[in-house]
Amino acid sequence: MKNNRLASLSTEQSQSAVLPHEIVSNLLHFFQEFGFECDARFAGRASVLAFTNALILAKEYPTDAANLIQALELPAAVQELARIIAAELVTEVPDDDEWVTNLWRSLPAHWAQTPAPKGPNSLNAQIVFSLSVGLAVGTHEADFAALLVKRVLLMNVENRFIACRLNYWSDNQFRPFSSPFLEFVSYYYGGRPVERRVMLQEAGETHACAAHLPNPWRVAFWAEQGWARGRHLAEQHPDAVRRLLEEASAANRAFTLKLYQELVIKPAEANGRVDIEQATLAFFARSEGGRCAVEYCSGDQPRKMARLAFDFSLWMGIVSALPIPREEAA
């Protein structure tokens, strides 16, 4: 799960020791950027997400989990309390579809029983508490932890993403590698460094513009930007496009061309113009067995849909500006 790193932060920052409040603040920032509003439910929801981050880290990377315990400066008494609570959660959170709700109830209830001061400024302490319990579950309750990891893997991609940030940050002193959305973009391009670099550059500039819109995740905007940027890349940066095509497999190149012919060219011949938004929606209908079309209609994963629209339309823009070899066009 650590094969899609972004470029690291500055040497000075990445070598300095992280402070506990930095870890908490970065997690909370990512949670908020992914749609978790600071309302009356935020503390409970953030507690569950912090718990799953620590649980997955401890289950998959025990050495990194030990480093997190040091970074959080967890006293031995807190670790012992966390082990006790971890054992109690095994019976309080059964392996069923209500696991998130049950955690949402159990973690704040256990927090309320601790002697730590409570109040409007205690959120950071509550998150550290949830991290400590997640670390204890991942370390000492292996079977329970395995069940919860399986449950996390069934969550939608945006929730999975924010449920495992500490795994990715562990090689960077538990600091993010980039902004929340760009880390999300990078999440998709493991093993394809050229495409990742191009997408991060282009998506980053697009996101900076989108941030000024009433709805920064409007699919039409991301599709139009992807199309224009793809054409610009092909026309003005042919070496970058050549490297992109060399990195892509022959099967992926053929599939991309097929999508262009069926979703862009054929409708354009019928309608007299290219409609990249409609082409993108048609692509959603084909993606993941049609599930992306359902998710687009439900609107519950706007960042996923914006990235998918941008990726598709950027590639379509590239293909539109390239001469198509006769044998590939056949």
User: What would the pLDDT profile of 258-272 be if each residue is shown by its tens digit?
Assistant: 999 999 999 998 888
Q: Which of 151, 153, 97, 157 is nearest to 287 (CA)?
A: 157
Tell me the percentage of the chain whose pLDDT exceeds 90: 88
Max CA distance (Å), the chain: 74
* Confidence (pLDDT) at 8: 42
Q: Taking 70 as the threshold, does the pLDDT of residue 3 lie above it?
A: no
Which amino acid, 174? Answer: F
Q: Taking 80 as the threshold, does the pLDDT of residue 5 lie above it?
A: no
Q: What share of residues in the chain are helix, strand, coil (percent, to 5)?
A: 75, 0, 25
DSSP string, 2-57: -S-PPPP--HHHHHSPPPHHHHHHHHHHHHHHTT--SSTTHHHHHHHHHHHHHHHH
* Confidence (pLDDT) at 15: 61
- Asked if 72 and 166 touch (Cβ cutoff 8 Å), the reply is no
- Tens of pLDDT, residue by residue over 283-306, are 999 999 999 999 999 999 999 999
- Tens of pLDDT, residue by residue over 115-128, are 888 887 899 999 99
* Confidence (pLDDT) at 50: 98
* Confidence (pLDDT) at 1: 53
* Confidence (pLDDT) at 7: 46
- Tens of pLDDT, residue by residue over 62-78, are 999 999 999 999 999 99
* Confidence (pLDDT) at 11: 40
pTM: 0.90
Tokens 């090689």, residue?
171
Task: Show the tokens assigned to 205.
Answer: 């500039």
What region, left, alpha or beta, does residue 161 occupy, with left being phi > 0 and alpha being psi -120 to 50 degrees?
alpha
Determine the Cα–Cα distance for residues 252 and 244; give it in Å rounded to an integer.
11
**Residue 270 Cα distances to 134, 275, 294, angstroms:** 56, 11, 26
* Confidence (pLDDT) at 116: 86
* Confidence (pLDDT) at 21: 95
Determine the Cα–Cα distance for residues 123 and 140; give it in Å rounded to an integer.
26
- Tens of pLDDT, residue by residue over 166-218, are 999 999 999 999 999 999 999 999 899 999 999 999 999 999 999 999 999 99
Q: Taking 80 as the threshold, does the pLDDT of residue 90 lie above it?
A: yes
Domain coordinates in residue numbering, the chain: 11-178, 188-329
